[in-house]
Amino acid sequence: MAAPVPWACCAVLAATAVVYAQRHSPQEVPHVQYERLGSDVTLPCGTANWDAAVTWRVNGTDLAPDLLNGSQLVLHGLELGHSGLYACFHRDSWHLRHQVLLHVGLPPREPVLSCRSNTYPKGFYCSWHLPTPTYIPNTFNVTVLHGSKIMVCEKDPALKNRCHIRYMHLFSTIKYKVSISVSNALGHNATAITFDEFTIVKPDPPENVVARPVPSNPRRLEVTWQTPSTWPDPESFPLKFFLRYRPLILDQWQHVELSDGTTHTITDAYAGKEYIIQVAAKDNEIGTWSDWSVAAHATPWTEEPRHLTTEAQAP
């Protein structure tokens, strides 16, 4: 830049300082910016004058000059594809003036929160998720109140959207209130649910369901299973079971409810037909039925030797 001769040495010093600042300026560390999907954004080139001659690049690719308003980059109708590292350079010297790491996303919508106990009465867990993605990082904060007492919700070691509450308070109806708030750079949201501990009880399905034919009995199948290993105390809190079975060739299930024991003999099986059998569990008093167990398959005993036919057997 031109300067009067008496000021030449100061101008040189100043120019050197500017060059030094450009090479080592904090603008070389990108400025992180979050913007909302669909919105318009104007990115100034750091502290450059509006009429400075600059070039913008995104992720190393030059951007067309028609996106510029002076030295500022204007982006209309932000899409996810606009996310990236934007850099503006002094046009002639190619010195990097400013960098912006742009993240396009959305503020969070109301989170979905649910709680369940498969380990009654030892505790319950709560899980949450967002109904639609935000595309940017979110932080969740969960608080649990039992009446007026604050309880600790321990983070699940494996699942990041789950935490566990230990409770051992029986025979009362002080409700739990679980609240969750979610925040990101563009906004925040929250929700809460209130419930009695016994309403969220749902055991895991019974395990190791095995069905076997009964020798010399062409219409019987013996079914055995185990209480879910997650249920902490089946003696004090016994489970009842629901069995369903059908031959593979039919759609209609037969149902049997069993109040105790972990075996059952089916006595009305169609001879020679392969059966599918499943079991579900529920606490005797409270809560809801578990999901159906993994299915067991078995065919009742038939006399050997036998030619398999496709005719239906008389029941």
Partner 1 sequence: SPGAPISPAEPISQAYSLALYMQKNTSALLHTYLQHQGSPFSDPGFSAPELQLSSLPPAAVSFKTWHALDDGERLSHAQGAFLALTQHLQLVGDDQRDLNPGSPILLSQLGAARLRAQGLLGNMAAIMTALGLPIPPEEDTLGVVPFGASAFERKCRGYVVTREYGHWTDRAVRDLALLKAKYPG
Q: Where does this chain bind partner 1 (CB under 8 A)?
A: 121-122, 147-148, 168-175, 233, 235-238, 284-285
d(CA 183, CA 191): 12
Please, what is the minimum distance in Å from the beta carbon of residue 238 to partner 1?
6
d(CA 88, CA 27): 10
Please, what is the minimum distance in Å from the beta carbon of residue 225 to partner 1?
19
Neighbouring CB atoms inside 10 A of 211's CB total 24
Please, what is the minimum distance in Å from the beta carbon of residue 159 to partner 1?
25
- Token pair listed for 20: 């030094």
Please, what is the minimum distance in Å from the beta carbon of residue 242 to partner 1?
19
- Token pair listed for 148: 């007026």
- Give the residue with the Cβ less far from partner 1, 112 or 170: 170
d(CA 137, CA 186): 10
If phi > 0 it is left, if psi is from -120 to 50 it is alpha, else beta; for residue 96 that is beta
- Token pair listed for 283: 């606490």
- Give the residue with the Cβ less far from partner 1, 233 or 268: 233
- Give the residue with the Cβ less far from partner 1, 16 or 288: 288
Please, what is the minimum distance in Å from the beta carbon of residue 236 to partner 1?
6
Please, what is the minimum distance in Å from the beta carbon of residue 77 to partner 1?
47
For residues 269 and 220, is the Cβ–Cβ distance under 8 A? yes
Please, what is the minimum distance in Å from the beta carbon of residue 121 to partner 1?
5
All residues at 6 or more sequence positions from 269 whose CB lies less than 8 Å from its CB, including other chains: 219, 220, 221, 245, 247, 275, 300
Residue 132, CA distances (Å) to 128, 170, 204, 267, 307 in order: 12, 37, 28, 50, 57
- Give the residue with the Cβ less far from partner 1, 76 or 169: 169
d(CA 118, CA 287): 10
Residue corresponding to tokens 């030449």: 8
- Give the residue with the Cβ less far from partner 1, 195 or 292: 195
Strand order, beta sheet including 187-195: 149-151, 139-146, 176-184, 187-195
- Give the residue with the Cβ less far from partner 1, 213 or 238: 238
- Give the residue with the Cβ less far from partner 1, 175 or 219: 175
CA-CA-CA-CA torsion for 117, 118, 122, 128, nearest 10 degrees? Answer: -40
- Give the residue with the Cβ less far from partner 1, 92 or 235: 235
Please, what is the minimum distance in Å from the beta carbon of residue 155 to partner 1?
23
